[in-house]
Amino acid sequence: MKHVLVTGAGGYIGSVLVPKLLNKGYRVTAIDRYFFGADKLPEHDNLKIVKEDCRRLTERDLEEVDAVIDLVAISNDPSGELFQEATYEINHLARANTARLAKKTGVRRYILPSSCSLYGFQDDGVIVNEESRTNPLTTYAKANEQAERDILPLADALFTAVVIRQATVYGYSPRMRFDLAINGMTHGAWENGVIPLMRDGSQWRPMVHIQDTTDVMCLLLEADESIVNGQIFNVGSDRNNYQLGRLAEEIAAALPIDVEISWYGDPDHRSYRVGFEKIERALNWKAKWTAADGALEIYDALATGRLVKDEQTITLSWYQELAKWHKIIKECELYGGMISGIGARIS
Ligand SMILES: NC(=O)c1ccc[n+]([C@@H]2O[C@H](COP(=O)([O-])OP(=O)(O)OC[C@H]3O[C@@H](n4cnc5c(N)ncnc54)[C@H](O)[C@@H]3O)[C@@H](O)[C@H]2O)c1
């Protein structure tokens, strides 16, 4: 049986990917700090959960591993701006280090889940492909690009390295994220009949369902190395290239309730329309899910109580909470404890 190491395994994508890998018969080591809890992953004989910071991985963590899917990241633009240094450390340096360690210890395949946000802003009418000029506008996007640049040159006959630039992901996950466009729009519609839409709605953004992008990761574990080694693939579909205003209208039309659209924020300067011909041709793969399917899936999960919006589902808010409580606890903690647990007994 093949052994896959997944970093960031307790996150939005990881907690869908790991059960999929287990169902396919892989042995999985799931490494994460578990900022969102380790309870999002199933118990399974072939699953080993390791609580570790990816900035501290060593060769031992990669021994007897066949493939790495390096999901770990501070995973969106606002969190990347708030924690800039950590974002470069984790998204760029730690992933480049993991790839180098993987190559050194004889791991055969390494997959870097990067992002279409590298395309940043492109002129109207331009459809970018993997050869196009990138234009990363945020710390998050820049760190992803630096990881790509360090990792792809490691590819050689014994080490297959491949980058996927994922569109913005949507769909149900045990570690839900309502800070992603379709997920957030659907939640707003369900909760109070209002779809939140970031100004001015004309910005282009590609979307991909979480089942589709995790299917691609599984495909890449087995794909012919002569086709994927050293390559970058955009992951999404032309059908799911949206201007956000039209996306909101489609979601409004798909849901079984009357909704209105409500604008928020300053005009969004990120706008990119992406081509996906390369992955469709090379891997004979096509995305299955539409935005409407994803919105209905989330609506149903909310309506039946399988999904609840709590603080953990907004990445930035949760990281801010963790940072706030870390500071408070450090100030109050004494002898390793707080109100109880200080390890002393008064006789
Ligand atoms: N979700 C999307 O729309 C999307 C789109 C494009 C690319 N991506 C990329 O896919 C990957 C996964 O994204 P996600 O949506 O699952 O994000 P997520 O925030 O849900 O998951 C990231 C995981 O990494 C863990 N983590 C963070 N720092 C760590 C550290 N130093 N050591 C160990 N674990 C740490 C967190 O605990 C979390 O479980 C990221 O690289 C992200 O940039 C995501």
pTM of the entire structure?
Answer: 0.96
**Residues 87-127: pLDDT tens digits?**
999 999 999 999 999 999 999 999 999 999 999 998 888 99
Quote the pLDDT of residue 1. Answer: 52
Structural domains in the chain? Answer: 3-175+207-240+274-287 (3.40.50.720)
Give the rounded percent of residues in the chain with a pLDDT score beyond 70: 100
pLDDT exceeds cutoff 60 at 144: yes
Residue 344 pLDDT level (bands cut at 50, 70, 90)? confident
Is pLDDT at 343 greater than 90 in this prediction?
A: no
Q: What's the mean pLDDT in 211-225?
A: 98
Q: Which residue out of 36, 53, 71 has the highest number of ligand 1 atoms within 8 Å of its CB and is therefore the one to mutate?
A: 71
The preferred substitution site among 16, 29, 51, 72 for testing ligand 1, maximizing ligand atoms within 8 Å of CB, is 72
- Give residue 75 CA to ligand 1 midpoint distance, Å: 5
Q: What spacing in Å lies between the alpha carbon of 339 and ligand 1's midpoint? A: 34
Q: Per-residue pLDDT tens for 274-291?
A: 999 999 999 999 999 999
Q: Please count the CA atoms within 13 angstroms of the CA of 262 that sit on its side-chain side.
A: 11
> Over 90: is that where the pLDDT of 200 sits?
no
pLDDT at 148 over 60: yes
> What's the pLDDT score for residue 243?
93
User: Residue whose CA is closest, atom 38 of ligand 1?
Assistant: 11
Closest atom of ligand 1 to CA, residue 53: 32
Q: Which of 40-44, 113-117, 168-172, 336-340 has the lowest mean pLDDT?
A: 336-340
- With a 6 Å cutoff on the Cβ, whether 228 touches ligand 1 is no
Query: Mean pLDDT over all residues of the chain?
Result: 96
Q: How far is CA 39 from CA 6, 34, 45, 49, 175, in A?
A: 16, 9, 16, 11, 9
Q: What is the pLDDT of residues 25-48, one digit of tens each?
A: 999 999 999 999 999 999 999 999
Nearest to 180 by CA among 192, 167, 168, 164: 168
Q: Residue 266 — pLDDT band, cuts 50, 70, 90?
A: confident
Report CA-CA distances (Å) from 45 to 23, 29, 42, 49, 138. 12, 11, 10, 11, 40
pLDDT range class, residue 346, cuts 50, 70, 90: confident
